[in-house]
């Protein structure tokens, strides 16, 4: 999830996988796949950076989990 700020300064979290598009005209508007719209204080570049950081974190966590053996039988021969 990414955290963004409404124009009234309340913060909320969005699932970035459900964002359809982002517009800046001049306020940044996030349009979701279900057509819900959110006007936020962050710039388009800031929202994109938050999405990029979130996705990089997901990939890093997945890569880290892939390195953790679940049982001794799952360890490569060189480790045993």
**What tens digit of pLDDT does each residue of 2-55 get?**
999 999 999 999 999 999 999 999 999 999 999 999 999 999 999 999 999 999
Question: Counting Cβ atoms within 10 Å, is residue 42 exposed (0-12), middle (13-18) or buried (19+)?
Answer: middle
Q: Return the bridge partners of 37, or none.
A: 31
Q: Where do the domains of the chain lie?
A: 2-66
Say what the pLDDT of residue 49 is: 98
Say what the pLDDT of residue 27 is: 96
**What tens digit of pLDDT does each residue of 44-67 get?**
999 999 999 999 999 999 888 877
The pTM score is 0.80
Across the chain, how many H-helices and E-strands are there?
1, 5
């Amino acid at each position: 999830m990414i955290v963004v700020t409404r124009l009234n300064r309340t913060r909320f979290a969005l699932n970035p996988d459900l964002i359809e598009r982002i517009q800046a005209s001049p306020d940044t508007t996030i349009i979701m796949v279900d057509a819900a719209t959110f006007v936020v204080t962050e710039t388009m570049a800031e929202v994109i950076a938050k999405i990029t950081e979130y996705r990089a974190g997901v990939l890093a966590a997945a890569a880290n989990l892939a390195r953790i053996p679940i049982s001794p039988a799952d360890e490569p021969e060189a480790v045993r």
